[in-house]
Amino acid sequence: MEFGIAIGEEPASSAMLEASLRRWLASDPELRGEVLIAPPSGAATPGSMGSGGLDIVNVVVSNSIALGSLLVALAGWRSSRPRPPRLTLERNGVVVTVQDASPEEVARVLALFHDNDTPDPLEPGTDADDV
């Protein structure tokens, strides 16, 4: 499952926040082997989540349990910031803002993405003709 994580902040500070989030996710032991953090893709295209002061961190999670771990890691990173930035996850057109890592919040996000679970293009196990 591939997700884009947008950080809603002022453009001047968003690049530092993106780098901080990448380091935080890469160092989280719960995510090792379960989450792939894509390298920075450069400039965002107009109209994408990465435009207008939102930076994108692209991640691929291996399963729903890894998604739950990702949500907890995101909440931990937010809480480590003096002013917790808004984080928005997007997958297949479903956009969710992450507020915290409470069991209720994790269940809500998992349910939203599960209810709209269509295969990502060229996700392992997906035939390109089915896309």
* Number of domain units in the chain: 1
Residue 58 and residue 18 in contact, taking contact as beta carbons nearer than 8 Å: no
Residue 123 lies in a domain: no
Residue 22 lies in a domain: yes
User: In which element (H, E) is residue 6 found?
Assistant: strand 2-8
Q: What is the pLDDT of residues 62-75, one digit of tens each?
A: 888 888 888 888 88
Main-chain phi, psi angles of 40, to 5 degrees:
-55, 140
Best CA proximity match to 50, nearest among 94, 85, 18, 82: 18
Both structure tokens of 129: 């003709």
Residue 94 lies in a domain: yes
Helix, strand, or coil here: 111?
helix
Residue 128 lies in a domain: no
- For range 79-87, the mean pLDDT: 83
Strand partners, 90: 4, 95
Best CA proximity match to 70, nearest among 58, 82, 53: 58
Residue 94 and residue 112 in contact, taking contact as beta carbons nearer than 8 Å: yes
Q: What is the extent of the structural domain holding 70? A: 2-117
Residue 130 lies in a domain: no
Percent above pLDDT 90 for the chain? 5
Pick from 7-11, 22-26, 64-68 the range whose average pLDDT is largest.
22-26
Q: What is the pLDDT of residues 103-123, one digit of tens each?
A: 788 788 888 877 666 554 444
pLDDT, the chain, mean: 74
- For range 24-36, the mean pLDDT: 89
Q: What is the CATH number of the domain that holds 77?
A: 3.30.70
Q: 91's torsion region: left (phi>0), alpha (psi -120 to 50) or beta? A: beta
Residue 124 lies in a domain: no
